[in-house]
Structure 1
Amino acid sequence: MANQISPLPLVVTMGEPAGVGADIILSSYRQAAKHRLPVFGVIGCAKALHHRAQLTGHSTVEVIPVTGASQIPDVFERGLPVLDLPLEHDPQAGVPSSHSASKVIEWVDTAVRLALASDVSGIVTGPIHKETLYQAGFRHEGHTDYLAHLAVKAGYPAEPVMMLSAGDFRTIPLSVHIPLSQVPSAVTHAAIVAQAQVIDRDLKRYFDIEQPRIAVAGLNPHAGENGTIGSEDRDIISPAIQELAQAGINAFGPVSADTLFHEEARQDYDAALCMYHDQALIPVKAIGFHEGVNTTLGLPFIRTSPDHGTALELAGTGGANPSSFIAAVMQAERMGGAEQVLRELVSSQVS
């Protein structure tokens, strides 16, 4: 069923129990052979997954509880392995409840613990419902910064950078979930340099790109036209790009965003560093809406996620499209394979 690069399995967190996380996991498992997916196990509630399988027409999928990550590969051929951390209340499809919040967080905590212990090759996170978590006292902006928090808490460095991708098209938003009115103040020399350094390092490490080409988008229309339409491009972005070039990083720009994303332009770079959320996400979703993947660079472990939310209105209907989740699993496998090759190369050079 599987074509596994790494000897270690991936783990998938179930995400919001009332959302489509369970649906797309079950659907993807049924298509594992077709897509040559790697071995993965779920961290979540086995009972809830079994119930959702009955509800969505995936009743042929056997949900098999396991007690450790080492059991996942042996079980995967027979059924869907689940590290069972059961919910206290049965979830209702489409109706999120704060009762489940502590378990949703525990599932993420467990995945990170396994990844940091090198018991799994990476993490694919199911969509969470942040409003429900906030009601239960969750104080982080979302998955990305919470994963970084857990890494730092465990004593590891973390410089989280959100990368969106559709196939080999990759964008990174410099600023993420902030009001548009706050974007100009978030566009700083230090932020541009720091994020570009992470992009350069991790595209080499995880994507086998020897010399990543990073296009840096302008903030203002026409990249500011040398200060006539805003000064940020001339006074902040350009000097940051110059510093990156002096450090040996192949970054160029600022490029007017309205000319950066057409097919011909995309051939000139491996990733586009954009200045704000929609500048980065709109082109990815326009080009590959159902295949989009959210990858967190700058962590001490591999983390990907489908690039969509909980889709509460589709939960339990059987109508959720698993393509983004499948792409996220395959991307995590690819990253793990590239990192393993790099480790072997370094090891051979040292010996």
Structure 2
Amino acid sequence: MSRPALPPLALTMGDPAGCGPAISAAAWAALRADPSLAFYLIGAPNLISHVPTRFITSPAEAAGIFAGALPILTLDGVPAVLPGRPDAAAAPAIIRAIELAVSDALAGRASGVVTNPINKALLYSTGFRFPGHTEFVAHLCEAAGHAASPVMILTGGGLRVALATIHMPLRDVPGVLGDGRLERITRVVHRALIHEFGIAAPRIAFAGLNPHAGEGGSIGREEVEIINPAADRLQAEGISVSHARPGDTVFAEALSGAWDAVIAMTHDQGLIPVKTLDMWGGVNSTLGLPIVRTSPDHGTAYDAAAAGACRADSLISAIRLAATFAANRQKAAA
């Protein structure tokens, strides 16, 4: 028996002065021939001028329109802005687009959410109190009564890299790794590798925090006192995860096929290899949510928006990955 077609993906407009409008149009032009990648843009009617558009009142209309025009779910209150010139007056509409996309996904009207880049500093003027998209989307899910354990994972260049810590000073990292964080993150990643990525028996590697993974404690004790004991506890649960591997070789090991994902201990440790291998096509995804959520792995790119030089590679990859996640979730639930 064939599975029912999935609903379209919901794409938020992001900051309308940034790259979002241009890359959304380019992504539609690149993907319009594949109905399994159908999406609709939540934004203002005047955002897109480069491709055919059709305004919709319901996500259900998007699939039938997608091949011939970019479906736009009209969002009111978006001020007229020029590319590259951010306007704080757009902040409430930027936030509202994310809220609508999450609401559609939770209600089953969208099969997932793909978020265009935002400028968090611009949103703070409205009282926005979240460090970024990841935390805000998790909050919206929890506020709707759903459990959320958000974990950031980057994909690109043949790597899948989850982050144990994100935006914090390096001096603070050792103090938070031993509070059960590694176990929680690894369980989320393990489950996602099965249900979202479709890997039946995933293998996960911990990157070490110190050079050479601490060399048995001679260059730091975090590996022997925190990371390796966490791996032992997870292995006892049946999860295939390594002791701390040297950070200068673990990503090459993953590329060779030894690991399905690496959990990096710090932000830059994880992002440097992904962005070096695939600067333009990397994807930032949030695991541990009741919904699918992906995003381009770059910011608003105001300069590129002003110059008309935006590249849509990362957004296209994010849409493809969101569709894959949604399809794999459907298979796992069958």
Q: Same fold (TM over 0.5)?
A: yes
Q: Aligned letter for 1:231?
A: R
Contact conserved, 1:189 with 1:237, CA < 8 A, in 2?
Answer: no
Q: Deviations over 1:211-235 (max 9, x none)?
A: 1100001101111111111111110
Query: Residue type of the partner of 2:18?
Result: G
Residues 185-221 of structure 1 show CA distances to partners (whole Å, capped at 9, x for unaligned) of 1222500000000001111111111111000011011
Aligned counterpart, 1:43:
42
Residue identity in the other structure for 1:191: R
Contact 1:39 1:72 in 2 (8 A): yes
Q: CA deviation at 1:168?
A: 4.2
Residues 115, 265 of structure 1: alpha-carbon distance in 2 compared, 3 angstrom cutoff: closer
The structure-2 alpha-carbon separation of the partners of 1:267 and 1:224, relative to structure 1 and needing over 3 Å to count, comes to same
Q: Which residue of 1 aligns with 2:226?
A: 236
> What is the count of residue pairs matched by the alignment?
332
Q: Which residue number in structure 1 is paired with residue 13 of structure 2?
A: 14
Question: Which of 136, 140, 150 is equivalent to 1:146?
Answer: 136
Does the C-alpha gap of structure 1 residues 290 and 35 become closer, same or farther in structure 2, counting only changes over 3 Å?
Answer: farther
One-letter amino acid of the structure 2 residue matched with residue 272 of structure 1? V
Measured on the aligned residues, the alpha-carbon RMSD in Å equals 1.7
Alpha-carbon offset, residue 265 of structure 1: 5.5
| Separation of aligned partners in 2, 1:265 and 1:17 | 37
Query: Aligned-pair distance for 1:173?
Result: 1.1
Q: Measure how far apart 1:86 and its partner are.
A: 2.7
Could you tell me how far apart the structure 2 residues matched to 1:211 and 1:229 are?
33
Does 1:24 find its partner at 2:23?
A: yes
Q: Say if 1:14 and 1:22, in contact at 8 Å, map to a contact too.
A: yes
CA–CA separation in structure 2 for the residues paired with 1:161 and 1:114: 21
CA pair 100-265 structure 1, distance change in 2 beyond 3 A: closer
Instruction: Give the conservation status (yes or no) of the 8 Å contact 2:56–2:62.
Output: yes
| Farther-moved stretch of structure 1 (160-169 vs 102-111) | 160-169
Identity of aligned residues (%): 39
CA contact (8 A) 2:35 2:67 kept: no
Contact 1:93 1:312 in 2 (8 A): yes
Alpha-carbon distance in 2 for matches of 1:267, 1:73: 37
Q: Which residues of structure 2 form unaligned runs of 5+? A: none
TM-aligned CA distance change 1:262 to 1:5, over 3 Å: farther
Which one of the candidate residues 233, 237, 249 is aligned to 1:259?
249
**Corresponding position: 1:289 with 2:279:** yes
CA distance in structure 2 between the aligned counterparts of 1:72 and 1:161, rounded to whole angstroms: 30
Name whichever of 84-93 and 296-305 sits farther off.
84-93
Secondary structure of the residue that 1:17 maps to in structure 2?
coil
Q: Which residue of 2 aligns with 1:348?
A: none
Q: Distance in 2 between matches of 1:251 and 1:264?
A: 13
1:262-320 deviation line (CA, Å, top 9, x unaligned):
26764100000010100110100011111100010000000000101100001143311
Cα pair 1:6 1:121 within 8 Å, conserved: no
- 2:118 is matched with 128
Mapped to 1, the partners of 2:187 and 2:16 lie a distance apart of 37
Secondary structure, aligned partner of 2:190: helix
Question: Which segment is superposed worse, 160-169 or 212-221?
Answer: 160-169
TM-score, normalised to structure 2, is: 0.95
The amino acid that maps onto 2:30 is: Q
- What is the CA–CA distance in structure 1 between the aligned matches of 2:53 and 2:306, rounded to whole Å? 17
Alignment of 1:76 onto 2:72: no
Matched residue type, 1:283: P
Moved more, 70-79 or 329-338: 70-79
C-alpha displacement of 1:341 = 1.3
1:322 and 2:312 aligned: yes
1:88 Cα offset (Å): 4.2
How far apart are 1:148 and its partner, in Å?
0.5
Deviation for aligned residue 1:172: 0.8
Q: Is the 8 A contact 1:23 1:316 kept in 2?
A: no
Please tell me the residue identity of whatever aligns with 2:21: A
Indicate if the aligned counterparts of 1:48 and 1:91 stay in contact, CA closer than 8 A. Answer: no
Query: Is the Cα–Cα contact under 8 Å of residues 10 and 40 in structure 1 kept in the other structure?
Result: yes
**What does residue 217 of structure 1 align with?**
207
Seen in structure 2, the aligned counterparts of structure 1 residues 17 and 33 have a Cα distance that, compared at 3 Å, is: closer
86-95 vs 136-145, which moves further: 86-95
Correspondences of 1:46-65 after superposition (within 5 Å):
46-49=45-48, 53=49, 58=50, 61-65=51-55
Choose from 147, 150, 159 the match for 2:149.
Answer: 159
- 1:226 counterpart SS class: helix
1:263–1:214 CA distance, 2 compared to 1 (3 A)? closer
Structure 1: how far apart are the matches of 2:59 and 2:98?
A: 14
Give the Cα separation in 1 of the matches to 2:121 and 2:195: 35
Rounded to whole Å, the distance in 2 between the matches of 1:253 and 1:95 is: 48
Q: Which residue number corresponds to residue 87 of structure 1? A: 77
The correspondence of residues 196-207 of structure 1 with structure 2, limited to 5 A, is: 196-207=186-197
